[in-house]
Amino acid sequence: MSTYVCPSCGHEEHIFGTGGGEKMCQEYGTDFLGALPLNLSIREQADAGLPTVVADPDSPISNIYKTIARQVAIKVAALSKDMSSKFPSIVVQNT
């Protein structure tokens, strides 16, 4: 979570400070995926059984979720796939 957005006026406040997630990712040598705002709609939609990307697919929050999901998919797709355990060993011998 990165900011709190007031539901009445839309004012955005960094109640946890800024840059902490990015700094921690740098320290651990991993990618920063994104930051989601503290927003009541996320909780309400989740409680109703509707993820934000389903309940309001074109909202700014949904776009953040989709961007994070794309980044994760790219990283997972780039992982090497070792299938050696799925096949028997083949040994060729000269006799």
- Would you say residue 91 lies in a domain? no
Top pLDDT among 22 and 87 is at: 22
- Would you say residue 86 lies in a domain? no
**Measured distance CA(85)–CA(83) in Å, rounded:** 5
- Would you say residue 29 lies in a domain? yes
- Would you say residue 90 lies in a domain? no
Count of domains forming the chain: 1
Q: What is the pLDDT of residues 40-84, one digit of tens each?
A: 889 999 999 999 999 999 999 999 999 999 999 999 888 877 777
Q: Which domain holds residue 23?
A: 4-80
